Structure 1
Amino acid sequence: MTRRSEMAKATDTEVYQLLSEWQIPYERVEHQAVYTVAEIDFSIDGTEVKNLLMRGKKSKQNYFIICPSEKRLDIKALAKILGESHLSFASAERLFGLLGLTPGAVTPLALPHDRERQITLVIDQAIDQTAKIGFHPNVNTATLVLAFTDFQRYLTKLGIQPVYLVLPEQATA
């Protein structure tokens, strides 16, 4: 893994440059800094998601998980689906080392920083691919809303082929 001092911090400017270069339309919503989905006090015209960076304990494989914000993800069941014995959340240092991000700004729009392709992108099939979706532009004081198909085009331009899975939900008590 790249040492923190060697990794460039991900910026919103680089996101806007790529979206412009690739002619991907978006709507920008500015807001107070948010660190978790629970803190969001605005709604977008589309699917609200949470983004998680996780790591397999034995394999050391990194997974970027995108699922609906209201889903209570069953992490133990997800580990089994991914062929892992255990998954844990990435540390702040790992998040910065892989994507140049700080906690609270986790976004797939930072995937250009994964130059060594150390991350597997996993997208929940429960996400409506005909709707819009919102992501932070590498900072947690704005959300960019774009068509899911445009997000897929962004990934294609990066050479990223996501894995679409039905992500397990915790049983409610």
Structure 2
Amino acid sequence: MFNKIIEFLEENKIEYKKIHHKPTPTSEDSARERGEDIKIGGKALVLKINKEFKIFVLSASLKLDSKKIKEYLKIKKVRFATKEELFELTGLFPGAVPPFGKPTINLDLYIDESILNNKKIAFNAGSLEDSVIISTEDYIKIAKGEIFKFSL
């Protein structure tokens, strides 16, 4: 997945910084290893919405508000993908999911407005040991996710 993300960035002529670090299972660990503020971290969560899975990206310093997701998407049920479902869908483990949907990961993408508050976004890029940092402007341009507020 890491190579796929780097290829995607290069194909789109996106400037990026890559960082190899010790495994970081949490957003706090990732921010510390990157030497960056946690708020620029893009936390990518895979949720099951009715019968489909989708990726939701928000600032790593915030929590997800499932009520806002239900209201915006006009749905009744939402839950996190299990570890097994996540691996089956993406081939990745929790904490390694990058903040991209189609075509990188074949899932629809939703981006929280909190991502727009920072000049750059940092994220684990398909592993717990590899991070990438790009400008938020470039991220929004290539990620092509639907933007709305779903953070607390």
Q: Please state which band the TM-score falls in when normalised by the shorter chain.
A: 0.7 to 0.9
**Cα shift at 1:73:** 2.1
Please show how residues 23-172 of structure 1 align to structure 2 within 5 Å: 23-40=13-30, 41-42=32-33, 43-44=35-36, 47-56=40-49, 59-109=50-100, 111-115=102-106, 119-128=107-116, 131-155=119-143, 161-169=144-152
- Structure 1 length-normalised TM: 0.74
1:93/1:35 CA distance change after superposition, 3 Å? same
Residues 111, 145 of structure 2: 8 Å contact kept: yes
CA contact (8 A) 1:100 1:110 kept: no
TM-score relative to the length of structure 2: 0.82
Specify the structure having the higher radius of gyration (Cα): 1
Q: Indicate the percent of aligned positions where both proteins have the same amino acid.
A: 24
Do the aligned residues in 2 keep the contact of 1:135 with 1:143 (CA within 8 Å)? yes
Q: Please say if residues 44 and 145 of structure 1, whose CA atoms lie closer than 8 Å, have aligned partners that are also in contact.
A: no
- Could you list the per-position Cα deviations for residues 77-136 of structure 1 after superposition, in whole angstroms to 9, with x for gaps in the alignment? 422332221211112232223222222201124743544xxx221111122266110122
CA contact (8 A) 1:98 1:113 kept: no
How far apart, CA to CA, are the structure 2 residues paired with 1:53 and 1:105? Answer: 11
SS in 2 for 1:103: coil
Please state whether the residue corresponding to 2:103 is helix, strand or coil. Answer: helix
Please tell me whether the aligned partners of residues 111 and 147 of structure 2 are also in contact (alpha carbons under 8 angstroms). yes
Q: Which has the higher helix share?
A: 2
Q: Is the contact between residue 112 and residue 151 of structure 2 (CA under 8 Å) also seen in structure 1?
A: no
One of 10, 15, 32 as aligned partner of 1:20? 10
Aligned residues: 149
